[in-house]
Amino acid sequence: MPRLLTGNRVETGDVIWWTGDGWSLHLKDAIAVDDSGEALIAQFSPQERINDLALIDADPSDAGWRPRTTRERVRAVGPSVRPDFALPSIPVESI
Amino acid sequence: MYRYDEFDQAIVDARVAEFRDQVARRLNNEISEEAFKPLRLMNGIYLQLHAYMLRVAIPYGTLDSRQLHMLAHIARRYDRGYGHFTTRQNIQYNWMKLEEMPDLLADLASVEMHAFQTSGNCIRNISSDQFAAAAADEIADPRPYAELLRQWSTLHPEFSFLPRKFKIAVTGSTIDRAAIQLHDIGLELVHGAEGEIGLKVLVGGGMGRTPLLAHVIREFLPVADYLSYMEAILRVYNRHGRRDNIYKARIKILVNDLGPAEFARQVEEEWAALKPLGLDPPPSELARIAAHFQPPVLDADAPVEIDLSNPEFANWVAVNTHPHKVPGHAIVTISLKAPGEIPGDASADQMDLIADLAKAHAQDEIRVTHAQNLVLPHVRRDALFTIWQALKGAGLATANLDRASDIISCPGLDYCTLANARSIPIAQKLAVRLAPQEADLGELKIKISGCINGCGHHHAGHIGILGVDRKGEENYQLLLGGSGAEDASLAKILGPGFDENGIVTAVEKVIGRYQSLRSGPGERFLDTYRRVGAEPFKEAVYG
Ligand code: SF4
């Protein structure tokens, strides 16, 4: 199962995704880190710029990544009850 | 209303300056997140699913228009234009940026507000009756007693690292609008044998993982001594509370383990040692605080009869206003529960409007209720139509107080990092489905939590819903028979859980069965449930 690296930016709290050469606000930019995930967390943690670094499971789909759990889908798109704030990750109605 | 003296203001201003420095050092990487996290939590800042969340304390749920305008300004300037009123009479903002937090807290301090002690294992915001000083049924205004507790507990060094968080509620009425039986300490103003005012003391109530009702440990405590008595309770708890196990660390577990009689004995023993030390303030201090809460001068000759020929207005008056202790006046509850909307959310524009109405028509006071609505406590009846029209124009005139669509809901998995399941969408669906028949149903309190922590008070719901996690999927348990009022009881799980659509259908089946079982239109759902028990409802849902 593909794994994605995510966290929250310390200055703003924004949810961000590891893209291979940086961080993006958008799930679609994420890359699967798979076995290198733990090493990346070990690399970024001491820098103290990203809070709550975590690896999450996601399935690839035609529309992009679909995180496995409801929690991570909500994190990726925004509150399901505020579609006006939804990020272009997965359709709010499919959370 | 209480106004800060120079000490209150100095404490809050010093905290803003201190936190400004701490944030700068965190952003410059001079301190780690591990070291910083407890500091931000002490200032009410959590990291939630999408961003930082700030919880602002609203002492005993009382605001003036200047403060509510500031809360609107914060929503606009620092958030996305709205805030969420909580079941602890506080407000939360969901889209905070750490780098902006010091300026925000300075803005708050400019209107005598802050966010500390809205997190952590300390004495949290003191809650109270939203109808204080207005209700015809109260003995006295409970807020001076709550305010003295606020001052005593603010940054109290001995009680800043308790075994767990600690919640106190104070009420001045036998009609319990503050859920005192479900608090760590509940205080009720009562009359003594000579007619003097004292406090009945309840300890060990709470919801969450182990819901328990509080026990009365003292029927009458003279008000002159209540602070030292509070100190004695906290000391016994601080000494014996279960710091080794977070799930057993609340005072309710200690009271339960020791037994209320033994707990009370230990408190009395501690108090006997403490009282002579002079911890209680002189009566003049309580009098100084009480002077801030002088009842407003209202015109007792204001007309009682008003034009109710508009049926929609008349219905709103019937459902959302309560009698005031002064004739010709009313207490208005503004519902933040329009069916389909998010319970407890208010936009900045709505907050500004309500603040303006309070200034013009309600003696400049607003109250926040633990049911996530707002109250204008002192309104002339002949101003009600003007207020209703203004509220209606802003989507705030829903006439559903204590009815099926007036649902308490925590933020749940849409915002909260601890959640198992979403609460808000369930509340929205239920409110839309039940609103058409709610007048027929009468008082029906539905309360929804997204996890066992119970911020949505599901154990105190006539109908409670608890979100649980079933292998990564949202699942909902149905509970029946709870109450947070003077007839307090704890709701019990009916049976196996449901998915999102299933829980809505199950609630509808419960309500359908109630309609066929009730003895008459005056029998509330809760009364029917208590009369017939769970079986008929089980059969309706699972049969
Ligand atoms: S009950 Fe649980 S999900 Fe709801 S706000 Fe509290 S901690 Fe979060």
Q: What is the ipTM of this complex?
A: 0.96
Contact (CB, 8 A) for B170 and B249: no
| In a domain? residue A60 | yes
The three-state DSSP-derived secondary structure of B136-198 is: CCECCCCHHHHHHHHHHHCCCHHHCCCCCCECEEEECECCCCCCHHHCCEEEEEEECCCCCEE
Q: How far is B28 from chain A (nearest CA, A)?
A: 10
Residues of chain B with pLDDT > 70: what percent? 100
Determine phi and psi for A17, rounding to 5 degrees: -130, 140
pLDDT at position A62: 87
Q: Which residue among B416, B422, B426, B465 is best mutated to probe the pocket of ligand 1, counting the most ligand atoms within 8 A of its Cβ?
A: B416
- Kindly determine whether residue A81 and residue B414, on different chains, have CB atoms separated by under 8 Å: yes
Please state the rounded mean pLDDT for residues B249-253: 97
Evaluate if residue B383 carries a pLDDT over 90: yes
**Dist CA B527 CA A42 (whole Å):** 58
**Dist CA B189 CA B169 (whole Å):** 11
Q: Which domain range does residue A50 map to? A: 3-78
State if residue B410 touches ligand 1 by the CB under 6 angstroms criterion.
Answer: yes
| In a domain? residue A84 | no
State if residue B163 touches ligand 1 by the CB under 6 angstroms criterion.
Answer: no
Band of the pLDDT at B467, cuts 50, 70, 90? very high
| In a domain? residue A85 | no
Burial of B440 (0-12, 13-18, 19+ CB in 10 A): exposed
Contact (CB, 8 A) for A77 and A92: yes
Residue B8: name the closest of B314, B289, B295, B399 by CA.
B289
| In a domain? residue A17 | yes
- Can you tell me which atom of ligand 1 is nearest the CA of B416? 8
Q: How far is B421 from chain A (nearest CA, A)?
A: 8
Three-state DSSP class for residue B319 = helix
**Dist CA B141 CA B373 (whole Å):** 20
- Kindly determine whether residue B49 and residue A71, on different chains, have CB atoms separated by under 8 Å: yes
| In a domain? residue A86 | no
Q: Which residue among B85, B118, B418 is best mutated to probe the pocket of ligand 1, counting the most ligand atoms within 8 A of its Cβ?
A: B418
State if residue B455 touches ligand 1 by the CB under 6 angstroms criterion.
Answer: yes
- Kindly determine whether residue A12 and residue B49, on different chains, have CB atoms separated by under 8 Å: no
Q: Which residues pair with B483 in a beta bridge?
A: B489
Please state the rounded mean pLDDT for residues B325-337: 98
Three-state DSSP class for residue B94 = strand
Q: At what angle do helices B143-153 and B226-240 cross, to 10 degrees?
A: 50
Mean pLDDT of chain B: 97
Contact residues for B395 (Cβ-Cβ < 8 A; gap 6+): B338, B341, B350
pLDDT at position A94: 80
Residue B491: name the closest of B503, B507, B479 by CA.
B479
pLDDT at position A63: 85
| In a domain? residue A95 | no
Residue B397: name the closest of B317, B340, B330, B328 by CA.
B317
pLDDT at position A84: 95
State if residue B416 touches ligand 1 by the CB under 6 angstroms criterion.
Answer: yes
State if residue B53 touches ligand 1 by the CB under 6 angstroms criterion.
Answer: no
Q: What is the mean pLDDT of each run of 10 residues along chain A (95 residues)?
A: 96 96 96 95 96 96 92 95 91 82
Minimum Cα–Cα distance from A76: chain B residue: B50
- How remote is the CA of residue B428 from the centroid of ligand 1, in Å? 17
What would the two tokens of residue B296 be? 């407003």
Tally C-beta pairs within 8 A across A and B: 70
Residue A52: name the closest of A3, A7, A5, A19 by CA.
A7
Residue B54: name the closest of B79, B17, B21, B28 by CA.
B79
Evaluate if residue B26 carries a pLDDT over 90: yes
- How remote is the CA of residue A82 from the centroid of ligand 1, in Å? 18
Name the amino acid, one letter, at B340. Answer: G
State if residue B339 touches ligand 1 by the CB under 6 angstroms criterion.
Answer: no
Give pLDDT tens digits for B415-452.
999 999 999 999 999 999 999 999 999 999 999 999 99
Contact residues for B150 (Cβ-Cβ < 8 A; gap 6+): B59, B60, B125, B126
- How remote is the CA of residue B26 from the centroid of ligand 1, in Å? 27
| In a domain? residue A94 | no
Three-state DSSP class for residue B501 = helix
pLDDT at position B170: 98
Mutate which of B49, B416, B418 to disrupt the A interface (most A C-beta within 10 Å)?
A: B49
Name the amino acid, one letter, at B14. Answer: A
State if residue B464 touches ligand 1 by the CB under 6 angstroms criterion.
Answer: no
State if residue B208 touches ligand 1 by the CB under 6 angstroms criterion.
Answer: no
Contact residues for B52 (Cβ-Cβ < 8 A; gap 6+): A12, A13, B40, B45, B46, B96, B97, B98, B101
Please give the span between the terminal C-alpha atoms of chain A, in angstroms, as a whole number.
19
Minimum Cα–Cα distance from B450: chain A residue: A71
| In a domain? residue A83 | no
pTM of the predicted structure, to 2 decimals = 0.97
What would the two tokens of residue B487 be? 């007839």
State the DSSP string of B412-459: GGGT-TT-SS-SHHHHHHHHHHHGGGHHHH-S--EEEESSTT-TT-GG
Q: DSSP code of B339?
A: T
Specify the residue for token string 């039986």.
B181
Q: Which residues pair with B33 in a beta bridge?
A: none
| Domains of chain B in sequence order | 6-109 (3.90.480.20), 142-289 (3.30.413.10), 311-393 (no CATH), 408-542 (3.30.413.10)
- How remote is the CA of residue B340 from the centroid of ligand 1, in Å? 20
Contact (CB, 8 A) for B373 and B338: no
Rounded to 5°, the CA angle B94-B181-B234 comes to 80
**Dist CA B125 CA B154 (whole Å):** 9
- Kindly determine whether residue A13 and residue B50, on different chains, have CB atoms separated by under 8 Å: yes
pLDDT at position A88: 83
Q: How far is A48 from chain B (nearest CA, A)?
A: 6
Residue B531: Cβ within 10 Å count = 11
How many domains, in total, are found in chain A?
1
Minimum Cα–Cα distance from B30: chain A residue: A48
State if residue B506 touches ligand 1 by the CB under 6 angstroms criterion.
Answer: no
A interface toward B at CB cutoff 8 Å? 8, 10-15, 47-49, 51-52, 68-71, 74-75, 78-82, 85
Contact residues for B11 (Cβ-Cβ < 8 A; gap 6+): B154, B155
Evaluate if residue B208 carries a pLDDT over 90: yes
Evaluate if residue B78 carries a pLDDT over 90: yes
Residue nearest to atom 2 of ligand 1 (CA): B451
Give pLDDT tens digits for B269-306.
999 999 999 999 999 999 999 999 999 999 999 999 99
Contact (CB, 8 A) for B429 and B504: yes
